Amino acid sequence: MTIKLPSRRTVLTLLAVAGLSLVLALVFGAFRIVRTDGGNREQAVESVSLPTPSGESDVSVEEAIANRRSRREYDENALSRRELGQLLWAAQGVTERTTGYRAAPSAGALYPLEVYVVVGTPGVDDLGSGVYHYRPENHELARRKTGTVQSELRAAAVDQEFVEEAAIDIVVCAVDERTTGKYGERGRKRYVPMEAGHAGENLYLQAEALGLATVSIGAFSDDRVRDVVEAPSDQRPLYVFPVGGRQ
C-alpha cells in the first residue's frame, strides 16, 4: 500500500496555523475582550478583580451623614484594594443581580454613568499607577492607561493641588444618550445630573464610613479630563473625587 505524504507547503501551512492559535490562546488567556467605553468599541485590556463588597459597617448611616465633610488633605498611606472596591460599589455597584439594579438610583434604570479611577501616589496596594475603568457587572477594573497621570488631571482641574496629592481620583462621566433616548433633553439637563449627585453622595458617605477623606470637584476642563482618562467623545465628565487617607 502506498501512503501519500502531505506536501512541504501543506506542512508549513499547518504549522503556521497551529502557531497562530497558540499565540492567540496565550494572549487572550491574560487579556479578555471587554467593553471599556460604555459599549462603543471593544478592545483587549487587562481586567483586575476587586474584593467582594461588604454589606456591614461599624458606622451607621446617621453617623456618616452627621460627620460627612469635604476634606482636601490626605495622608501618605495607600488605599487597600478592598477600600477602592467598596468606594466604587457605593457609587455604581450592582446591588441586585437579577435586575441589575445599582447602588445609586437611575431614571428608567438606564444607568448613563461611567466611572474611572486615576491611581497615583501613594495609590492602591497591589495595583499599579494608571487609569482604570470600573465595570459594575463583574465588580472589576479594566486598565486603560499605565503610569502616573495625576499631574495631568490636576492641570485639567484648574491646578487644584489636592487632586494630585490624593491616593486616587475617581472620575464620574455620563453617556447622556442612554437617558435622552427615553426622556429627551430633560434627561440630559435634569435626570443625568441628578443621578451623578446620587452617586456622589454615596461616595461621600462610603468614604466617611471607611475613615477616608474626599471632596467633590466640578471645576475642570471637560475635554482635558476626558483625555486624561481616555473616555470616548460621547462621555461627559461631571465629577472628580480625590480620595485618600484622612490626616
End-to-end Cα distance, the chain: 86
Q: Domain 45-245 falls in which CATH fold?
A: NADH Oxidase (3.40.109)
Grid cell for residue 73: 488633605
Q: What is the pLDDT of residue 10?
A: 55
Of 82, 131, 137, the C-alpha closest to 111 is: 137
Label residue 26 exposed, middle or buried (CB < 10 Å: 0-12, 13-18, 19+). exposed
pLDDT (0 to 100) of residue 41: 44
What is the enclosing helix (H) or strand (E) of 132? strand 130-135
Domain boundaries, the chain: 6-35, 45-245
pLDDT in tens, 99-137: 999 999 999 999 999 999 999 999 999 999 999 999 999
Stretches where the chain sits below pLDDT 50 are 1, 3, 11, 14-15, 17-18, 20-42
CA–CA distance, 196 with 170 (Å, rounded to integer): 12
For 78, half-sphere exposure in the C-beta direction (CA atoms, 13 angstrom radius) is 14
pLDDT of residue 27: 38
The pLDDT of residue 13: 53
Q: What is the pTM assigned to this prediction?
A: 0.83
Residue indicated by cell numbers 465595570: 135
Q: What is the pLDDT of residue 9?
A: 60
Polymer length in residues for the chain? 247
| Cα 166 from Cα 112, distance rounded (Å) | 26
Residue 7: the pLDDT is 62
